[in-house]
Copies of this chain bind each other. A is one copy, B any other.
Amino acid sequence: MNKISIISAVVVSTLSFTSLADGCGSPLLPSWKDGSSKTAIIDFVMKTTSEGSDSFVAKEDRIAVFDNDGTLWSEKPFYFQLVFALDQIKAIAPNHPEWKNEEPFKSVLADNMQGVMESGKEGLLKLIMATHSGMTVEEYQESVDEWLKVATDKRFNKKYTELTYQPMKEMLTYLQDNGFKTYIVSGGGVDFMRVWATEAYNIPPEQIIGSALHYQYSYNDGNPTMTKDASLLTLDDKEVKPANIQYIIGKKPILAVGNSDGDHAMMQWSTSQPHSMAMIVHHTDAEREWQYDRESHVGRLDKALDDAKSRDNWHLIDMKKEWCVVY
């Protein structure tokens, strides 16, 4: 244990002194139990922000990237953005009588989720195009906003924005308070996330990176519009994540947090430099949230799980053992 780790440990235990014995309710990261993840986060922040230390990182280089689905909010039983798409399909189905006989729309209208999932990537893309394009960004975002106000998750009977993880929001705040620029780098749609993520995570629209359809600008006789085209601009997943980080941020992050193999490349890229760290939210809590990793279709965590176990600066967050509360 180096000097800074010892200091961190003292900080953690001191801060916990006035609260519960397990660390829950302590002033710093109150929803995190004392343990390796909480120590790793505090250790990392202290190391990179202590002026004069060998591991000090200038403020402008404190870039932290977070996946969203399964990292900052839940992603089961289906990505929430997919649920939005399905609800939209049902809402506009009266205008599309042909959908009754056309997959994957037929399955959507019959509430046959297995059929929807079996339509594969191509089918899902059809659903996205049918519900996410052919309108202005403004119109699209209004429909997302309306949906979020009323849609609820069946299992938890909560609004989707209430299924954001309290411990992760505390981690974001802690980083922001220490001069980190926090970004979302998600496979989810950038226009979808920008509707609600700014308020949920205190992350401005320009620090949200995600998948996108092509944008079409039109002068429109003096009332300019920005339309969402039915063609893919970027699918922000796997190797595309570090590529988009390079393109949009232009700096290598020193912290990357994810939960699946879709975040593996981003974590490799970020930790290929000194003083960096990767963290993985491990879904171990079947009771309070969900339990899944190597065998899951959504949010599969396999290769990155191996790396997390073998690399010193990669840490697994055990949701069940380390979080005082989930939501």
Contact = CB atoms under 8 A, between A and B. Distances in A.
- Specify how many copies of this chain sit in the oligomer: 2
A223 interface: yes
A100 interface: no
Contacts of A216: 239, 243
A226 interface: yes
Nearest to A229: B243
Interface stretch (A28-36, A49-57, A248-256): A248-256
Contacts of A212: 247
Nearest to A249: B206
Given A206-B251, A269-B224, A272-B223, A246 B60 contact: no
A219 B265 contact: yes
A242 B269 contact: no
Range, interface on chain A: 35 or more
A182 to B, nearest CB: 12
A205 interface: yes
A232 interface: no
B246 A215 contact: yes
A156 interface: no
Given A217-B239, A242-B224, A205 B249 contact: yes
A230 to B, nearest CB: 15
Contacts of A249: 205-206
Nearest to A241: B217
Contact of A243 (B190, B205, B215): B215
A191 B190 CA distance: 23
Nearest to A223: B272
A243 B229 CA distance: 11
A272 to B, nearest CB: 5
A194 interface: yes
Contacts of A281: none
A215 B240 CA distance: 8
Contact of A269 (B208, B214, B217, B239): B217
A243 B272 contact: no
Given A205-B251, A226-B246, 15 more contacts: A60-B204, A181-B206, A190-B250, A205-B249, A215-B242, A215-B246, A216-B239, A217-B239, A217-B242, A217-B246, A217-B269, A219-B268, A224-B272, A226-B243, A233-B247
